[in-house]
């Protein structure tokens, strides 16, 4: 890790942060700024930190639930998670061909990701 001075994107406060080594200078500045913003105590910095944590957790949940068996759903949910977090989309449901229902929705604490498989037996004459 390398120490670098990053600047909060919202209030401009400078902060010494640690970033990975081996990055080009432009990427170092960007990474240091993001890290400084996440660590800043200004109101916007706190919201940025919360947003980052929720989106990272949603990313993890999407990958755990869908990536192995339903990669197309994982891709769709990854592309929609920010819209869900921001409230521009409240709920996204996908019914897939084998009787499962994937759902991602906004909650008070962040984002809920779920998959439910229904086993229905039906006989028709």
Domain ranges of the chain: 2-41, 54-117
Which of these, 51, 96, 104, lies nearest to 79 by C-alpha position?
104
pLDDT > 90: percent of the chain: 87
Mean per-residue pLDDT for 93-119? Answer: 91
Mean per-residue pLDDT for 89-100? Answer: 92
Name the strand (E) or helix (H) holding 75. helix 71-86
pTM score, whole prediction: 0.80
- pLDDT of 23-52, one tens digit each? 998 999 999 999 999 999 999 999 999 999
DSSP symbols for 26-71: HHHHHHHHHHHHHH--SHHHHHHHHHHHHHHHHHHHHHHHHTTT-H
């Amino acid at each position: 890790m390398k120490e670098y001075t990053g600047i909060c994107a919202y209030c401009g406060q400078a902060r010494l942060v640690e970033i990975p080594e081996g990055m080009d200078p432009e990427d170092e500045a960007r990474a240091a700024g993001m890290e400084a913003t996440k660590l800043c105590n200004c109101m916007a910095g706190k919201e940025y930190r919360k947003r980052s944590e929720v989106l990272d957790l949603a990313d993890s949940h999407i990958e755990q639930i869908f990536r192995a068996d339903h990669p197309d759903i994982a891709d769709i949910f990854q592309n929609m998670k920010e819209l869900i977090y921001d409230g521009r989309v409240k709920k996204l449901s996908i019914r897939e061909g084998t009787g499962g229902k994937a759902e991602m929705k906004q909650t008070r604490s962040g984002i809920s990701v779920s998959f439910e498989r229904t086993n229905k037996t039906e006989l028709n004459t």
